[in-house]
Structure 1
Amino acid sequence: MVETAARVLRRDGIAAAGVASLMAEAGLTNGAFYAHFDSKEALVAEAIVTALGETRAVMAERIRNAAPGRSLDAVIDFYLDPRHVTHPERGCAVAALGPELARRPESTRAMVDKAIGEYIATIAGALADGHPNSLAVAGAVFASMVGTIQLARASRPARVPSILTAGAAAARKIGQVSMT
């Protein structure tokens, strides 16, 4: 149920996904939903945290498998892949739902913020060893990549490759900055 909700929410948006449609897509009844969750908001929070955890785990694997000195490139290449633009249901929940997440109740935002912190810490692990202020720099890299994906999704398909290329160059440059 949570995995289906994570996919559907990223694909359709939080406002557009009702409990009935989420349960139908999961092959369950509304009764099954209320046996597990008190409200749609509880499912939204858990689904978004799950979605962030899924993409963070893939990113961490890419970092582990990267050639020496290429960890940040692995993060950027993973995140700014054209498939991330065309398949939001399999990508980062922040890129797919950022504006909606900002309007969620404080309890949901707190859970999502914790998951975002873990995501940023994973990106920080891709920066050069001993990078000063690695969490701040990783947060800036993440923000740049999220914005790149959102802009690419809002643009016509012919423009997407140049947006991804420019976004990747910007994220790499940010990754080299020392924020003091």
Structure 2
Amino acid sequence: MRYEADRKQATRMKMVETAARVLRRDGIAAAGVAGLMAEAGLTNGAFYAHFDSKEALVAEAVVSALAHTRAAMATKIEQAPAGQALEAVIFHYLDPQHVAHPEHGCAIAALGPELARRPESTRLAIDDAIERIVATIADAIPGVSGDPVAAARAVFASMVGTIQLARTAHPARIPAILQAGAVAARTLGQSIGHSVPCSGGASGE
């Protein structure tokens, strides 16, 4: 019985890992169940033994991909010299290899517009995974006197947009786009993270 349970779990993990890669590479709409199972070396029957629908697999695969993104950031933060954690995250994320290989990168950068149109249950699961990434980036912002979560959210949004823009650009422009994106993310992390929250109203009275 334990062997069967382990084999079933291994099969599910293979399906999720394959889907995470294929979805980021081809997009959600272009990835059908039959194609996903073929890439995993499994049958359609195996799919329905684990998931009720393609949407259920999409949600689990994207959350899994984002967990890998967060773990990679956490590793870079741990390995960074003192005071260089944010720089390490930015350098890691805004890598030309990330531009060239969406199938191995951040699912938000690869699938953002499609994910925004998924059912609410899928979006809520993905939002939780995004917030874990934001919390990890917040840990990389040094000497915070403002709102580290707001700063981290701005940094992440900026980096996602940079990767998306770089993927649409002429290859010759990619280095300049990544460099500009790094400056923007660094500036956002430092300016928002170090700002002092205003105690008055927006009118400045």
- TM-score normalised by L of structure 2: 0.86
What's 2:76 paired with? 62
The answer to whether the aligner puts 1:48 opposite 2:46 as a matched pair is no
The DSSP-based 3-state class of the residue aligned with 1:145 is helix
Return the index of the structure with the highest Cα Rg. 2
Match among 134, 139, 142 for residue 128 of structure 1? 142
What's 2:183 paired with? 169
Letter in 2 for 1:102: A
What's 2:100 paired with? 86
Letter in 2 for 1:175: G
Match among 143, 160, 176 for residue 157 of structure 2? 143
Displacement after TM superposition at 1:53 (Å): 0.3
**Hey, what's the Cα distance between the residues in 1 that align with 2:83 and 2:146?**
16
Letter in 1 for 2:165: L
Q: Which stretches in structure 1 are left out of the alignment for 5+ residues?
A: none
- TM-score normalised by L of structure 1: 0.98
Displacement after TM superposition at 1:131 (Å): 4.0
Regions of 4+ moved over 4 Å: none
Q: Highest relative contact order (Cα 8 Å, sep 6+), 1 or 2?
A: 1
**Hey, what's the Cα distance between the residues in 2 that align with 1:150 and 1:171?**
14
**Hey, what's the Cα distance between the residues in 1 that align with 2:135 and 2:32?**
33
> For each residue in 1:69-124, what CA deviation from the matched residue of structure 2 results, as whole angstroms up to 9, or x when unmatched?
00000000000000000000000000000000000000000000000000100100
> For each residue in 1:36-63, what CA deviation from the matched residue of structure 2 results, as whole angstroms up to 9, or x when unmatched?
0000000000000000001110110000
Displacement after TM superposition at 1:160 (Å): 0.3
Same amino acid, percent of matched pairs: 70
The DSSP-based 3-state class of the residue aligned with 1:132 is coil
Measured at CA, do residues 36 and 131 of structure 1 come closer, stay the same or move farther in structure 2, by a change above 3 Å? farther
The answer to whether the aligner puts 1:14 opposite 2:28 as a matched pair is yes
The answer to whether the aligner puts 1:36 opposite 2:60 as a matched pair is no
Letter in 2 for 1:60: A
Give the aligned length.
180
Q: Which stretches in structure 2 are left out of the alignment for 5+ residues?
A: 1-14, 198-205
**Hey, what's the Cα distance between the residues in 2 that align with 1:40 and 1:21?**
12
Displacement after TM superposition at 1:132 (Å): 1.8
The DSSP-based 3-state class of the residue aligned with 1:177 is helix
The DSSP-based 3-state class of the residue aligned with 1:7 is helix
**Hey, what's the Cα distance between the residues in 2 that align with 1:27 and 1:112?**
27
The DSSP-based 3-state class of the residue aligned with 2:49 is helix
